[in-house]
Amino acid sequence: MPAPIEFYFDFSSPYGYLAAQEVEGVGRRQGREVVWKPFLLGAVFKTTGSAPLLDIPMKGDYAKRDMDRSARRIGVPFQLPTPFPFSAVAPARAFYWLADQNTMAAKDLAMALFHAAFGQGHDISAPDAVAKTAAMHGHDPAAVRAAHDDPAVKQRLKDEVQAAQDKGVFGSPFLLVDGEPFWGHDRLGDAEAWAKTGGW
């Protein structure tokens, strides 16, 4: 069994949302498990000196257009939620809390949260909003809400953010295929080719 593909993303990343639509297909076609690893870009931006993409002159306008065009190309709805950018702490904590019980359920919740944010434009930054989305997918909203304030869950997310940074992850989406890094939704094709061929 070949090693899993690691899929790093920030819940507030539009290109992370787009990659999430396609990454399981990559895994399926290449016979690889995909391990989802939400993290927080904020800490990395301090290291790389990056600003939020949409705030950058010229590049920001282009990015909005490119996100919309890329979503149309793969046939998924897309809008920027208000406010944007937003904090992805609450969705990421809920993800890891659930992933420790049921990996598939956590991926489903991640897709639901992404859809609420970038498909429907909702604010998913508040713990209550995350609990509400989770409730619609059969999870106990009180348990989700409590997990948000659980010191163990808080620490879990901190550890994952640090681990991502230690592996050189600096953007979203970001894939590691047998240790080879691929940054960006537009590198999914390269990542899949690497998984298929073992590299070139």
Is residue 49 within the footprint of its own copies (CB under 8 A)? yes
Instruction: Tell me which residues in 158-177 interact with its own copies (CB under 8 A).
Output: 168, 170-171
> Is there a contact between 161 and 181 (Cβ–Cβ < 8 Å)?
no
Alpha-carbon gap, residue 5 to 192, rounded angstroms: 10
Give the interface segment with its own copies, choosing from 18-26, 79-87, 98-106, 185-193 (CB under 8 A): 185-193
- Smallest CA-to-CA distance from 17 within 77, 83, 90 is with 77
Q: Which two tokens stand for residue 157?
A: 């997310």
Interface pick for its own copies out of 3, 43, 51, 152 (rule CB under 8 A):
51
Query: Toward its own copies, which CB reaches closer, 141 or 181?
Result: 181
Give the interface segment with its own copies, choosing from 13-21, 59-67, 85-93, 150-158 (CB under 8 A): 59-67
Distinct helix (H) and strand (E) counts, the chain: 9, 4
Beta-carbon count within 10 A of 46 CB = 9
Alpha-carbon gap, residue 126 to 87, rounded angstroms: 8
Query: Toward its own copies, which CB reaches closer, 116 or 191?
Result: 191
Alpha-carbon gap, residue 10 to 89, rounded angstroms: 9
Beta-carbon count within 10 A of 86 CB = 18
Query: Toward its own copies, which CB reaches closer, 112 or 164?
Result: 164
Per-residue x/- track, 60-79, its own copies (CB under 8 A): -xx--xx--xx-xx------
Q: Following CA atoms 79, 82, 87, 89 in sequence, which dihedral angle do they give, to the nearest 10 degrees? A: -70
Give the shortest CB-200-to-its own copies separation in angstroms: 5
Is 172 tagged catalytic? no
> Is there a contact between 44 and 16 (Cβ–Cβ < 8 Å)?
no
Is residue 141 within the footprint of its own copies (CB under 8 A)? no
Give the interface segment with its own copies, choosing from 1-9, 25-33, 53-61, 121-129 (CB under 8 A): 53-61
Give the interface segment with its own copies, choosing from 41-49, 82-90, 97-105, 146-154 (CB under 8 A): 41-49
Q: Give all strands of the β-sheet with 174-177 in edge-to-edge order.
A: 34-38, 5-9, 174-177, 180-183
Q: Which residues are catalytic?
A: 13
Binding region for its own copies (CB under 8 A)? 44, 47-51, 56-59, 61-62, 65-66, 69-70, 72-73, 168, 170-171, 181, 183-184, 186-187, 190, 193, 200
